[in-house]
Chain A
């Protein structure tokens, strides 16, 4: 592996594996499931334990994998897991514990169609699970939604940086399209894993023994005294307010003069971008707002645009989830409609455009 940027043609899943090694991740713990199995496969093919010393372990189950992450994170290591929808459901208890323990970790969900075992085809139906908690208790994950293979690679580093900055787990919420497609990707320069001394300096909370101190750190999420437990909750909420104030990320495309706005994330944002190109070619002024962080949500940006446009279409691979957050941002200022496909169906750009025209009763003179 070279200590400089490298251009490759990779699947989104493969990009995650490459980026993890280059970031200097200490451990990956996973269990195979389509459509994300290439993360584990690629890591095993690249054998980073021979080069950086990174641990790559196929656990006996998703539950075991997330608890290995919990343990590694408690000791200040940069650790991660990845799975797809049914597997991520299994991890939820562990994720809640990691959030409660104020520990940094990265969880990747390459979503497939549900509910239940569902299908292996792409979906975005785990939006609620990712941004509204998923596990029990009042907590949030920082949720990053990549729309390209490049972002799959970039968000590994970003996810870990944010997770360590705020001591909270981060999630990459991708979908089967982004996981399975290949694109050009510029891999970041490789950097070494943190030394023990660096971990102690960066993570004074890490449970790593006494290190010459009188007391050792202990990682726990149990607090039977309600007064103390409420204090823990207040501290968590203060962290979430800081994240909301500082870490909202989104991308706007052709919104300056837009009469209609589409809000979409992940692969749907790419499909909608093409729909907007086609709409503009027919004289219909449509723009796109793509949330990059699904939590914290770009509420203010959507609120600002809601005064400008005649209507907003929320396009998702689900029956209507992110639309709730868009409606909360819009506060009734403009009509908000939904376009969604479920069960693993990925719509083409024309379907999105047809939905927009139908919902807002607009006609394109020479619509294709």
Chain B
């Protein structure tokens, strides 16, 4: 089984770290993984995207032209990546700030209102974990337990007290899927 995923949005939304936690979870689940960021001078406010591949077999190219799953968090990314989801693939998007909704009819489209949910929960920093929960609900590519262990690996120990908060956000994210 192979999952080719693009996560794209604004810098500061947790795009790269969401990809990293997913990749770590894949690694801990015994998969081959690659995490390829579009790196650059962009920080908060600029665009950011990361390609994550999870596979049972050796991964050839870390750079792709089409994806099984796209997680889209702003209009620019939707414009860029909607056409690059493979037929039959999945596009998850957050409607916040989206003025032109996705139009493809040959892919699954899931609207996940994670911005609203993050504001509701009062902790906007768990925004990307809400999305990760939604993604794993729609495509259970790694077990949640591996994600939690991935968090333990990626978060510095002084922040391990935040893991339950992130776990709750992942659970809440699962419920955001209609």
Contacts and interface: CB of A to CB of B under 8 A. Distances in A.
Contacts of A180: 36-37, 39
A275 B23 CA distance: 23
Interface in A322-368: 346-351
Contact of B63 (A9, A35, A120, A346): A346
A184 B61 contact: no
Contacts of B34: 181-183
Contacts of A346: 63
A134 to B, nearest CB: 26
Nearest to B40: A120
Interface string B25-58: 0010000111111011100000000000000000
A181 B61 CA distance: 11
Nearest to A350: B65
Interface residues of B, number: 21
Contact of A181 (B24, B27, B36, B153): B36
A271 interface: yes
Contacts of B27: 7, 9, 184
B61 A176 contact: no
Contacts of A77: none
A177 B63 contact: yes
A183 B60 contact: no
Contact of A349 (B23, B36, B61): B61
A347 B62 CA distance: 11
A150 to B, nearest CB: 11
A183 B61 contact: no
A177 B36 contact: yes
Contacts of A181: 34-37, 62
Nearest to A183: B34
Contacts of B24: 9
A161 B39 CA distance: 32
Given A271-B61, A277-B60, A348-B63, A182 B23 contact: yes
Contacts of B63: 177, 267, 270-271, 346-349
Given A9-B23, A9-B27, A349-B65, A273 B33 contact: no
Interface of A: 7, 9, 34-35, 120-121, 176-177, 180-184, 267, 270-271, 273-275, 277, 346-351
Interface of B: 20, 23-24, 27, 32-37, 39-41, 59-65, 153
Given A120-B41, A351-B65, 20 more contacts: A9-B20, A9-B153, A176-B39, A177-B62, A180-B37, A180-B39, A181-B34, A181-B36, A183-B34, A183-B62, A184-B32, A184-B33, A267-B63, A270-B63, A274-B60, A274-B61, A277-B60, A348-B64, A349-B64, A349-B65
